Structure 1
Amino acid sequence: MRCHWRINGSETLMFGNIVRSLGLILLFGASPLSGWAQEPEAKPPAAEKPAAATAVVIPLHGEITPLTGAFLDRKLEEAREMGVDVVIIDIDSPGGFADVSFDIARRLRDLKWAKTVAYVEDQAISGAAIAALGCDEIIMRPGAMLGDAGVIAQEILGGPFKYAPEKILSKMVADIREVADAGGRPPALAEAMMHKDVQVFQATHKQDGRVWYYTKAEWDSLPDAEDWEQGKPVMEARENTFLTVTGKRAVELQIANGLADSKTELYEQLGIAKEPKVLAQTGIDTLVWVLNLPLITFLLFVIGLLAIFIEFSAPGLGMGGLVSTLCFGLFFWSRFLGGTSGWLEVTLFAVGLIFIACEIFVIPGFGVPGISGFLLVLGSLVMASRNVVWPESTRDLMQLNKTLATVGASMIAFVVLAMVGSRYLLDFPLFRRIALLPPEVDDQAAAVAVGTAYSASNRPAAWEQVDVGDAGIATSPLRPAGKAAFGDELVDVITEGEFVEAGKGVKIVQKHGTRVVVRSTT
């Protein structure tokens, strides 16, 4: 650290007066004490050593995804509660989602309660380089690599990747320049990481010898260009090249703040005496990652929808309700911690289920409530799996297609399994116990009527033989769906919401195709 001292005229005069006064004191005080042995001078009190910094290490490894951003947020909050002085982001990543990388960079840039240090032991490429620029300091191993933040896009799903068009690139270049400038790093070099056609050269201030880096556009618009001497171009920022540098070169270019061959050396440089705690992935973090896998998401959807189907077939909070609650609870919980869902998606899902239930049990016919409920459920599942509602890039579009494919495949699988289950489910003893089966009738005439209704395969369906106004008897509890006998016909019916016990009289009040709505007459 340099200390600049300034002594003006008044301060010099004061300093001279003090010296002269001290001289008089020594002059008049030395003679009487000349025969005495001088006492040793008292040692000045030792300066207090600064307290050793406390720190934590948060690993940022592998591809950067929305799960990475949510994981980092949780660990930063944990570090804040610990009250540490330094947060070390241990980066070893090839990059990933650009929007998540910028979110991480801004989160680290705006962090005020601790010093943030990015340590690059191997690589911080693409989005990982963007995240590193958000830290207060960047420390690298001499041979580690940083840079190559070029933005690529896929115009057609399944097609080749191409460099992003200027419309997308311009905004991201402005963002990376802003992040670099906030950290005191040359914005021109940050731009060269992302823009392959930007050339950067070194400039030296003629008066104080400061070295900085400018693009040609910056140099042409520099207000004090005459105070600077333009030097050689930066070799790593030549045309058709994304700037990528080693740790040693990054320090020379003022991108990194220092070098450390190991974490031990890094801790010594930062004044950290005690081995920092590593806030690595916990079992909960691993579970969240597993639950966000497309295959697991597909299984949660299918099992949850089948459980709802079973619950609606046998009303009351039974096995179906518990299983569906567990499946969709795990789905939304994992999306909450994954950073892609909030209470809006949960609310839309719940409202959608209510609409579907109203359509089945309350409002006759398949109309607005049923369609609206289905769309709300579908929309909530898609929204909960994404960090942006509308795709803003090709990667977002690909993620949307993947999410729609997962939801669509689960819907198809549910329909197929529901159809098969409706036919063969009663063959399983477990489901036979919870199914609504017609009770055994003691009356031989009624039994003959029921048998005739089932055996007459050449006759029209039972629901075609009844009409509005027909009276009959409930042969099973109607809760609110069940069966009722109308003469010789045994018909699947549903009430308007009321529960009717078996053996009670009912009357048909509405008929919509195969849907027969009845009302109790007793």
Structure 2
Amino acid sequence: MGFLAWWAQAEAFIAQPWVTILLLVAACLLLFHEMLTPLTWGLTGNLSVVFFALVLLAHAVSGVGVLVLIGGVALLLVETHLLPGRGIAAFVGFGLIFGGIYLSLSDGPKHLNSAFSLATAAAVTVFSVVTFLAYLPKSPVWKQLGRELYAQSVGAEFVRDLPQDWLGKRGQVATPLRPVGVVVIEGRQLTVVTEGDFLEPGIEVQITEIIGDRIVVDPIAALATA
């Protein structure tokens, strides 16, 4: 069996709606994992490109959808690496990803019907947004950003060499931890960092790590269920 005959069969398989959706979801997940890992491009990134390429080739798309999709991914990279925490680049990026997927599936000689293209683009985009926002605070990129911001922080009390017997002490968030902020513990205001989800004022926290001038806290509710 020649390559063209093999690709014709593979193309027909990939173009099936359920295969297209699975490949797009897998490509997005792999891409997010790659872009939220600092200063690397490895196997997951390459697989993401392959999955996107298979879908785009199978549907014989025009260049417009591909360019829009690439623009959306580029804005997500801006959000995670150049302007983290702003949100504008990510918002526009997901909009472009939606538009890119829709154009890619609905344009070209082997286009799918508009209803399926619209539904698929919406479903993949919503799934991507939820996954991206859920993983972002726990990602290596965000943790690295937290450490950098913490090192530059000049909060109310930037404590250095806090005694180790403060491990486990509990207090309350005074300013939003995004991921750096201030907590009040035993009457003292301490500049701390959280490596999990962002925390709002009023949440009860506990010191879980002290390394030099880096004080890590976690919400008590999360520790209780861990």
Q: State TM-score, norm by structure 2.
A: 0.58
5 Å-filtered alignment, 1:118-517, equals 282-315=5-38, 316-336=40-60, 341-363=61-83, 365-367=86-88, 369-387=89-107, 399-418=113-132, 445=161, 448=164, 451-452=167-168, 456=170, 458-460=172-174, 462=177, 463-465=180-182, 489-491=192-194
Q: Percent identity?
A: 17
Question: Larger % of strand: which?
Answer: 1
Aligned mates of 1:363, 1:422 — CA distance in 2:
14
Structure number with the bigger relative contact order (C-alpha 8 A, sep ≥ 6) is 2
Asked whether the equivalents of residues 299 and 410 of structure 1 are also in contact (C-alpha less than 8 Å), the reply is no
Aligned mates of 1:324, 1:294 — CA distance in 2:
19
Give deviations 1:86-108, integer Å, cap 9, x for gaps. Answer: xxxxxxxxxxxxxxxxxxxxxxx
Asked whether the equivalents of residues 352 and 376 of structure 1 are also in contact (C-alpha less than 8 Å), the reply is yes
Question: What is the CA RMSD across the aligned residues, in angstroms?
Answer: 4.3
Give 1:324 deviation, angstroms.
Answer: 1.5
Question: What SS is found at the alignment partner of 1:308?
Answer: helix
- Who wins on radius of gyration, i.e. which is larger? 1
Give 1:446 deviation, angstroms.
Answer: 5.3
Give 1:450 deviation, angstroms.
Answer: 8.4
Aligned mates of 1:487, 1:458 — CA distance in 2:
10
AA at the equivalent of 2:24: F
Give deviations 1:226-257, integer Å, cap 9, x for gaps. Answer: xxxxxxxxxxxxxxxxxxxxxxxxxxxxxxxx
Aligned mates of 1:351, 1:420 — CA distance in 2:
22
Asked whether the equivalents of residues 449 and 489 of structure 1 are also in contact (C-alpha less than 8 Å), the reply is no
Asked whether the equivalents of residues 62 and 107 of structure 2 are also in contact (C-alpha less than 8 Å), the reply is no
AA at the equivalent of 1:305: C
Give deviations 1:191-217, integer Å, cap 9, x for gaps. Answer: xxxxxxxxxxxxxxxxxxxxxxxxxxx
AA at the equivalent of 1:489: V
Question: What SS is found at the alignment partner of 2:72?
Answer: helix
Question: What SS is found at the alignment partner of 1:282?
Answer: helix
Asked whether the equivalents of residues 24 and 51 of structure 2 are also in contact (C-alpha less than 8 Å), the reply is yes
Asked whether the equivalents of residues 450 and 488 of structure 1 are also in contact (C-alpha less than 8 Å), the reply is no
Give 1:504 deviation, angstroms.
Answer: 11
Q: What number of residue pairs does the alignment pair up?
A: 173
AA at the equivalent of 1:332: L
Question: Larger % of helix: which?
Answer: 2
Aligned mates of 1:385, 1:328 — CA distance in 2:
12
Give 1:383 deviation, angstroms.
Answer: 0.9
Q: State TM-score, norm by structure 1.
A: 0.28
Aligned mates of 1:404, 1:449 — CA distance in 2:
57
AA at the equivalent of 1:284: W
Report the CA distance shift for 1:451/1:343 in structure 2 as closer, same or farther (over 3 A). Answer: farther
Report the CA distance shift for 1:414/1:334 in structure 2 as closer, same or farther (over 3 A). Answer: same
Give 1:361 deviation, angstroms.
Answer: 2.3
AA at the equivalent of 2:115: N
Asked whether the equivalents of residues 309 and 320 of structure 1 are also in contact (C-alpha less than 8 Å), the reply is no
Q: Which runs of 5+ in 2 are unaligned?
A: 148-159, 184-188, 196-210, 214-226
Give 1:346 deviation, angstroms.
Answer: 2.0
